Amino acid sequence: MAIKALRGTYDIFPPKSKLWQKVENLARELFDFYGYGEIRTPIFEQTSLFSRSIGENTDIVSKEMYTFQDKKGRSITLRPEATAPVIRAYLQHNMQQLNQICKLSYLGPMFRYERPQAGRNRQFYQLGTELIGSANPYYDAESIALAYDFISRLGIKCPAVKINSVGDTQSKSNYATLIKNYLSPKISSMCGDCQIRIEKNPLRVLDCKNPSCKEHIANAPSLLDSLSETSKTHFDKVREYLETMEIPYTIDNYLVRGLDYYTDTIFEIIHSNLGSQDVLGGGGRYNNLVQEMGGPSVGAVGFAFGIDRLILVLEALGQLGPKTNSGLDFFILNIDDSVFNQHIKLIKRLREKNIKIDICAENKSFKAQMRNANKLNAEFVIIRGSDEIENNVIKIKNMNDKTEETISITDDDSLFNAVLERIKQNDKKPVF
């Protein structure tokens, strides 16, 4: 039986990988533009990092982690998200001592044992940012603005930005009591998961997709009504800044997120093309996490987009059609073995000059090699068969207008200069 990729994982290869690179490159450039520097953390960490920070009773920790024992019996987990590893790294490397706001961005694979479906995989990819060291509401708004800017620059029009506030620790606990009391007469008719959640993690009840549970929570008390004065003021400021920056948003009173560490502002960016997995990305503020992980009491805010979902939307919109190879300057037809070594020497020298040149080392027919040149989007083809060798010439064929030039060559240098001269005439910028 041939070995296949595991369920919930997949391969990304050309031409689609071009689209992935485009998304990733844009993220890198934009994050840099907003003052974020890239952090790369390990793909696996101690299990306790995630169970403590994300929350023991969340779906991620209780059901979805790829956890295993290493050869020394230590419990290791493939990272299901990047916020906890980033904060772990921030503290491990004493970045708080820099005494300034720390802006870190990341990009890479995450792992969750979920039921695979469109837009939901077991190995998926996130790109995101974390701003550590301030509880100022401006940074909540700036993170949302950055997320919105990214989506807009990708060409994804009209994403819906939903925001809400879960409030500080006090507000969260007020609301937990409120929702518990509200739902206690109805809880026996709610799903099994909700019956557990109402005891262990009451806010998550708001996120249940079960139709009968949804009915029960439709008129539940609003999170915003439970906010402490400080959280209320914070949220009002976030809204004010978003309005100043003209970021369109709506408030969703029942929005909650799957990770326990959030405090105050949370947000999601939704796209209608995605069906049931319609959340392109989300995030929010988490003011207690750094301290809970043994660091100072500093505020932090961040977000993550799922790259898999961004790709699905871009494909559906046809905004960034898959591009083929970006094209060669020259393709050398490999017709006569006697000059093969001279050609590979030429290729080496031209590549040092950033000229994009290639040859096919296999002995294919003239026709097949021309087809290959076309496929590779070559601008010029170098033809050097036995006639040309005998007459000390090469032919350079322009693949656009199909014209051919014959150029005399005597040695390696004249061959090199002839090809270089041809590309100079073409006024083509080198690839680098």
* Residues contributing to the site for ligand AMP (CB under 6 A): 81, 112, 114, 119-121, 124, 126, 257-258, 279-282, 304-306, 308-309
In angstroms, give the least distance from the CB of 284 to ligand AMP.
9
Measure the CA–CA gap between 32 and 105, rounded to whole angstroms.
9
Cβ 303 vs Cβ 143: under 8 Å: yes
Give min distance, CB of 126 to ligand AMP, in A. 5
Nearer to ligand AMP, 216 or 309 (CB): 309
Picking from 413, 136, 79, 150, the residue whose alpha carbon sits closest to that of residue 305 is: 150
Say which residue the tokens 């999170």 belong to: 223
Asked whether 103 and 139 are in contact (CB, 8 A), the reply is: no
- The identity of residue 368, as a single letter, is A
Give the residue with the Cβ less far from ligand AMP, 65 or 407: 65
Question: Which residue, 273 or 377, has its beta carbon nearer to ligand AMP?
Answer: 273
Mention every residue, 6+ apart, whose C-beta is less than 8 A from residue 331.
Answer: 357, 358, 359, 369, 372, 373, 376, 378, 380, 381, 382
253, 278 Cβ separation under 8 angstroms: no
Q: How far is the CB of 282 from ligand AMP (least distance, A)?
A: 5
C-alpha distance across the termini of the chain, in Å: 44
Q: How far is the CB of 406 from ligand AMP (least distance, A)?
A: 56
Residue 381 has a CB neighbour count (10 Å cut-off) of: 21
Q: Which residue's CB atom is positioned nearest to ligand AMP?
A: 306
Least distance between ligand AMP and beta carbon 263 (Å) = 15
Q: Smaller CB distance to ligand AMP: residue 39 or 304? A: 304
Q: Least distance (Å) from ligand AMP to the CB of residue 202? A: 19
What DSSP string describes 136-166? -HHHHHHHHHHHHHHHHHTT--SPEEEEEE-
Shortest Cβ 39–ligand AMP spacing (Å)? 16
Q: Nearer Cβ to ligand AMP, position 197 or 309? A: 309
The nearest distance, CB 114 to ligand AMP, in angstroms, is: 5
CA distance 386 to 365: 14
Cβ 417 to ligand AMP shortest distance, Å: 53
According to DSSP, residue 63 is labeled: I
Nearer to ligand AMP, 257 or 422 (CB): 257
Whole-angstrom Cα distance, residue 209 to residue 199? 18
Q: How far is the CB of 14 from ligand AMP (least distance, A)?
A: 22
Tokens of 397: 């064929």
As a whole number of angstroms, the distance between CA 310 and CA 427 comes to 36
Tell me whether residue 83 or residue 372 sits nearer to ligand AMP (CB atom).
83
| Cα–Cα distance measured from residue 53 to residue 300, given in angstroms and rounded to the nearest whole number | 14
Going by C-alpha positions, the residue among 99, 102, 76, 100 that lies closest to residue 90 is 102
Say if strands 380-383 and 330-332 run parallel, antiparallel, or are unpaired. Answer: parallel
Comparing CB distances to ligand AMP, the nearer of 31 and 305 is: 305
Between 106 and 124, whose beta carbon lies closer to ligand AMP?
124
Beta-strand ranges (E) seen in 177-221 are none
Closest CA to 379 of 340, 339, 326: 326
Considering the complex, state which of residue 133 and residue 306 has its C-beta at the smaller distance from ligand AMP: 306
Q: Which two tokens stand for residue 25?
A: 């490159």
Give me 379's structure tokens.
């601008």
DSSP 58: S
Write down the least CB distance from residue 403 to ligand AMP, Å: 50
Residue placing its CB nearer to ligand AMP in the complex, 112 or 356: 112
